[in-house]
Amino acid sequence: MKKIYMDHSATTRTDNDVATFMVKYMTETYGNPSSVHSFGREARKAVDEAREKVAQAIGAQPDEIIFTSGGTEADNLAVRGVAYANRKRGNHIITSSIEHHAVLDTCKSLEREGFEVTYLPVDEYGMVRTEDLKNAITDRTILVSIMHANNEVGTIQPIKEIGAIARGKGIPLHSDTVQSIGKIPVDVNELNIDLLAISAHKFYGPKGIGCLYMRKGVRMLPVTFGGSQERKRRPGTLNVPGIAGLGLAIEKAAVSVGEQAPYQARLRDRMIKGIMEKIDYVKLNGHPAERLPNNVNLSFQFIEGESLLLSLDMKGVAASSGSACTSGSLDPSHVLLAMGLSHEIAHGSLRLTLGKENTEEEADYVIEVLPEIVKRLRAMSPLYAGRVQADKHQSEECCSNV
């Protein structure tokens, strides 16, 4: 059976060039970049080059890049580091209710330490309203943290406006750009971003490496201690192979985004249209237009997303329900609930996220197998039978009245 991977928002296959490039920094150029000898200097050179590539990809300066173990650590460092450094000025943080748990749970832990957090609501499409942000800002606000693109439903936030509002009040904006990097253009100056989180494995780089961009002048305290690496902002021996891989992956992503974004958007729209035409009681989750080019998120009424996932897996298709982190738990996605979906509809959600290796044939295969699966699962649902009967009855009544 052919296996089809459509879970690229969970992770991606490491690009072959990237993997090959990384091996060199394990077996040949293996020095510690903090060492003064030639082995160390060669490793340092690789780190410097990667730092420049990352900076260039987002319109930053190389010394504004802090390498971390990935997106989660970068989000933690941004939120916690800025909160601690600005404690004397205020204790209020503004974020949104649809953030990744790396931001949400960090905010919750800060609440236990005396910080106050406002979780902005979102509209039915998962979009933050800029009016709500304006109204939430107080003179005690020290950080705004709003993600660029949502990992579950793909909605892209009005980050440029959000950044302008925050900057107007002298408040730094952190944005989790883990899902947007490599899929849509991200430029820190264009978007008024002061801090952002990057994770290499979301754009064909290796897992366990990422970085935090921090604009010069932003006040931040480190949250880990033990060495002077990354100018003490993130101590620990640098992950040289990972950093080299991140550099190459982001460089390749910047080159291919112009071609990949429209390609994947075409597949995405084909799938959304194809599936919605063939199956009834389906809802598209997320914004219809302001949406990541690779994100398909649909709710199928009367069935569980988890059962859909298992059935798709048996057909060789890898997808996800909600986010990878929440699947396995029975709680419905906090993102879908924040968008106002009922528990029942939120439970029936399926996320298919495309990547550069997906083809039109694969999209068509999913469009073909999904209706059978949905039909079979719904056949076991008394609610579905009841609803179909009721709707049929209603439409007959309505027509006979005309």
- Smallest gap, in angstroms, from Cβ of residue 130 to ligand PLP? 21
Q: Does 222 bind ligand PLP (CB under 6 A)?
A: no
**Beta-bridge partner residues of 283:** 299
Q: Which of residues 82, 83, 102, 173 is near ligand PLP by CB under 6 A?
A: 102
Specify the length of the chain in residues: 402
Q: Which of residues 100, 234, 334, 356 is near ligand PLP by CB under 6 A?
A: 100
Q: Does 70 bind ligand PLP (CB under 6 A)?
A: yes
- Smallest gap, in angstroms, from Cβ of residue 175 to ligand PLP? 10
| Contact range with ligand PLP by CB under 6 A, out of 25-33, 71-79, 114-122, 297-305 | 71-79
CA distances from 65 to 51, 52, 130, 157, 259 (A): 7, 9, 28, 23, 27
In this structure, how many other beta carbons lie within 10 angstroms of the beta carbon of residue 378?
Answer: 20
Q: Does 141 bind ligand PLP (CB under 6 A)?
A: no
Q: Which of residues 29, 86, 175, 199 is near ligand PLP by CB under 6 A?
A: 199
Any idea which residues carry the catalytic annotation?
325
Type of residue found at 286:
G
**Beta-bridge partner residues of 117:** 93
Specify whether the CB–CB gap between 96 and 156 falls below 8 A. Answer: no
What Rg value do the Cα atoms of the chain yield, rounded? Answer: 23
Type of residue found at 112:
R
Record the tokens describing residue 54, joined without a space: 């990352």
Q: Which of residues 176, 194, 230, 251 is near ligand PLP by CB under 6 A?
A: 176
| Contact range with ligand PLP by CB under 6 A, out of 43-51, 65-73, 153-161, 284-292 | 65-73
* Three-state DSSP string of 125-152: CCCECHHHHHHHCCCCEEEEECCCECCC
203/180 Cα distance (integer angstroms):
9
- Smallest gap, in angstroms, from Cβ of residue 288 to ligand PLP? 21
Nearer to ligand PLP, 68 or 307 (CB): 68
Q: Does 285 bind ligand PLP (CB under 6 A)?
A: no
| Contact range with ligand PLP by CB under 6 A, out of 33-41, 172-180, 214-222, 297-305 | 172-180
State CA 292 to chain mean position distance. 10
Helix axis angle, 101-111 relative to 71-85, nearest 10°?
30
- Smallest gap, in angstroms, from Cβ of residue 146 to ligand PLP? 12
Q: Does 210 bind ligand PLP (CB under 6 A)?
A: yes
Q: How many residues bind ligand PLP (CB under 6 A)?
A: 14
289/365 Cα distance (integer angstroms):
24
- Smallest gap, in angstroms, from Cβ of residue 377 to ligand PLP? 28
State CA 167 to chain mean position distance. 24
Contact pattern from residue 334 through residue 353 relative to ligand PLP, giving x for each residue in contact according to CB under 6 A and a dash for the rest: --------------------
Q: Does 179 bind ligand PLP (CB under 6 A)?
A: yes
Binding site for ligand PLP (CB under 6 A): 70-72, 75, 100, 102, 147, 151, 176, 178-179, 199, 202, 210
